[in-house]
Chain A
Amino acid sequence: MQMTVDLNRVGAKGAIAEAAEGKWGMSIDRDLCTGCQACVAACAMENNISFVGEEDAGYGRTQHWIRIERFWEGAYPNVKIAGGYQPMMCQQCGHAPCEPVCPVFATPHSDAEQLNLQVYNRCIGTRYCANNCPYQARSFNWRDYHTMPERGNMVNGKLVFPLHNQFNPDVTVRRRGVMEKCTFCIQRIHKAQDKAKSEGREVMDGEFAPACAQACPADAITFGRIDHKDSLVSQRSNEGRGVKHLEDLNTLPRVTYLKEG
């Protein structure tokens, strides 16, 4: 009798997990990235990310789902950019270290989209996941930044928050005490899938992109299906310059960094 193993049910390491190739993936060309931070700004706008303010930023509580890492040579002031810039975000690991440590299963693995989810209404804020993430991609809501009274304007005795008008209605505004992270703009994935389904077709390659990829002026970020061999992201990831970060941890990241030499 042949045994069939449901890959999504097996939490085991190694060969079994390695067979799961994932669905959505991203490639980031570090030779093209100029470190302009357009992706960081676009991500913050798309995903209702809080501005934590000076004091909390000093505590290292900045909430960016994507950040630009810099590499340099020499000691200040004689520094020289070497190795360039590297946008870093949640790698949507196929075998994620953040997932098994959550005591309330608030960060499950999506079987349908093959992404790491963060369920805000289930999260109780233990922050285990952030401690266990080797990419440091997660950020925690230490306060209700969106409704801090000193950020509002008093209009006719009522607090008014002008920036609430620019919230993206497709993304939850996170409250205090929950963890958050890059979702690969799952709201855009759903929107594209919904549109494709209403027109009776499959989602086309390049039909949509996450906010970071859309904003990138150098087109360094490519997004698409990595299980489709002819998609642009698959071609770029497999062209030979690709590196996956911390691969030795067997996290199976879905983001490939491209770098010559």
Chain B
Amino acid sequence: MIRKFFKWAFSPMGRIAVAIAILSLFSLAAYGLYQTQQAPEQPIQFTHKLHVGLGIQCLYCHPGALRGPSPGLPTISKCWGCHQQIAKTQTSALLKPMVEAMDKGVGFTWVPVAQVPDFVHFTHRPHVAAGLNCENCHGDMTQVTIAVNPQVMNMGWCLSCHKERAAGDKEKLTKLTDCGTCHY
């Protein structure tokens, strides 16, 4: 049986078939990888660049970053706090989902973009306290509509910065490269 397969695989048509199979598997894997790097579908096409351009601070909508593990995503009432005073809110086609949700009193849920897996316990507070700015990790928000990750958020990326910032300080390096600092 196996011998028969190899005989077929080495025939001209067999070679083409095997090549096609390998190529399609490879492209499927590449497509899967590409999908993981795409920004997820959001309830509203939120324009970060417009809001940042208007001078709104990151911490106004994501206040948890200063004091806790999670910065939080704003609820509809926070959006409405400003938007109810803006005339364009009622006429804009982009903002229609928000007006409708507000009228029905249902709200909407933003889809988090910068996510870490369950086994990673990331806390914003020490990173902000260490003098990092939002854009160091999340990219320049004046350039994007829906937030996208400027890089793959994996362990190598975390560790390269940890090592860089702890260089020379042995105690700090031990703490910042300890498995138990993030994984528990």
Question: CB distance A117 to B121 under 8 Å?
Answer: no
- Within the assembled complex, what's the spacing in Å between the Cα atoms of A72 and B179? 41
Q: Is the CB of B180 within 8 A of A112?
A: yes
Whether A171 contacts B184 in the complex (CB less than 8 A), given A108-B179, A112-B174, A194-B123, comes out as: yes
Instruction: Please pick, from B118, B126, B180, the residue contacting A115 in the complex, using a CB distance under 8 A.
Output: B180
State the interface size on chain A (CB cutoff 8 A): 24
| A145 at interface by CB-CB < 8 Å | no
Inter-chain residue pair count (beta carbon < 8 A) = 55
* Given known contacts A119-B183, A194-B126, A198-B129, A111 and B119 CB-to-CB distance under 8 angstroms: no
Contact-residue size bin, chain B (C-beta under 8 Å from the other chain): 10 to 19
Could you say which residues of chain A place their CB within 8 Å of the CB of B67? 198
CA A101 to CA B66, docked complex, whole Å? 41
Give the residue name and chain of the A residue nearest to B66 (CB). Answer: A198
A110–B184 Cα distance when bound, in Å, is 11
CA distance A186 to B121 in the complex (A): 11
Interface string of A176-220 (1 = CB under 8 A from B): 000000010011001000100110000000000000000000000
The 9 closest A-B pairs by CB, nearest first: A112-B178, A110-B180, A112-B175, A117-B180, A121-B119, A172-B119, A111-B174, A186-B184, A119-B183
A-B contact list, 23 entries, CB within 8 Å: A8-B174, A108-B179, A110-B179, A110-B180, A111-B178, A112-B174, A112-B175, A113-B178, A120-B183, A122-B179, A122-B183, A170-B121, A172-B119, A172-B184, A183-B180, A183-B184, A186-B180, A190-B121, A190-B184, A194-B125, A194-B126, A197-B126, A198-B129
8 more contacts with CB within 8 A, not counting A8-B174, A117-B183, A198-B125, are A112-B178, A115-B180, A117-B179, A120-B119, A172-B183, A183-B180, A190-B184, A197-B129
